Amino acid sequence: MLTLNHAFGGTDMHSLVQKILKGTYPPIDSSYSSHLSCLVSKMLQNDPHLRPNASQIISLPFIHDALANLQRGIQAAKQGNNPVALPAMKQSVDVVRKSEE
């Protein structure tokens, strides 16, 4: 989902199953952080006992920070304090209103 592509692919069902069993998938693009690349690698481990659970993922510092930033942005938007998104939306509404007059 991260790369908008399937993690595993194959020309037929047998080759797909083999890639899944071997854990063979294309590397994550270098435009993503090394933290995120490492997390994806851990999440795609063949042994389910080695995969992180949701609590472990959320507690990772870079995920925790991203969630905190998202939460702050949502709160700011709810309070009308979002200096980036809300003015642009207000300008769009004003343009539509003027065109209707």
pLDDT tens digit sequence for 55-101: 999 999 999 998 988 888 888 888 876 555 444 444 433 333 333 34
How far apart, in whole angstroms, are the C-alpha atoms of residue 20 and residue 6? 11
Evaluate whether 8 touches 24 at the Cβ level (below 8 Å): yes
Record the tokens describing residue 99, joined without a space: 């065109």
pLDDT tens digit sequence for 83-96: 554 444 444 333 33
pLDDT band at 4 (very low <50, low <70, confident <90, very high): low
Task: Give the pTM.
Answer: 0.59
Q: Residue 12, CB half-sphere, CA atoms under 13 Å: how many?
A: 1
- Res 73: pLDDT: 86
Tell whether 40 and 59 lie within a shared domain.
Answer: no
Domain of 70, in residue numbers: 55-101
Tell whether 72 and 41 lie within a shared domain.
Answer: no
- Res 76: pLDDT: 84
Tell whether 27 and 74 lie within a shared domain.
Answer: no
